[in-house]
Amino acid sequence: MTDRTKLIQAALDCLKNSYAPYSQFNVAAAVLCASGKVYTGVNVENASYPAGICAERNAIFHAAACGEREITAIAIVGGKGGIVSDYCTPCGVCRQVMREFADPGKLTVIVAKSPDDYKEFTLAQLLPESFGPEFLK
């Protein structure tokens, strides 16, 4: 995996672009793909609440729109008012989207407060007994 510090920093750098006028909870994510490229995303809220998107899915869909099909790591940061004071773990929907583009036992999920203060999980730890594309073949 590329330097996790750089992946976390990419998410932190993108956090200012989050659009969260309703919840005031800003989130950013940076995804490392098998190609070695990094893609970022932020949460984007909407007055019609279900129409928004989480940062993790935004980053993954950004990567997919650029032709990527395999992610190897994701770094996630977030906090109220854009202040990162705790670890921000992905919601269930984002975990399932990660599952679409990664082997759950190999995907590294990093939740960080800073480049030096983070926790690391595999997707399998966060989404045990998951359903994936191989079940539909």
Contacting residues for 59 by C-beta, under 8 A, at least 6 apart:
29, 30, 31, 39, 40, 41, 74
Tokens of 137: 């073949």
Which of 45, 56, 68, 129 is catalytic? The answer is 56
56 is catalytic: yes
User: 97 with 60: CB under 8 angstroms?
Assistant: yes
> What is the set of active-site residues?
56
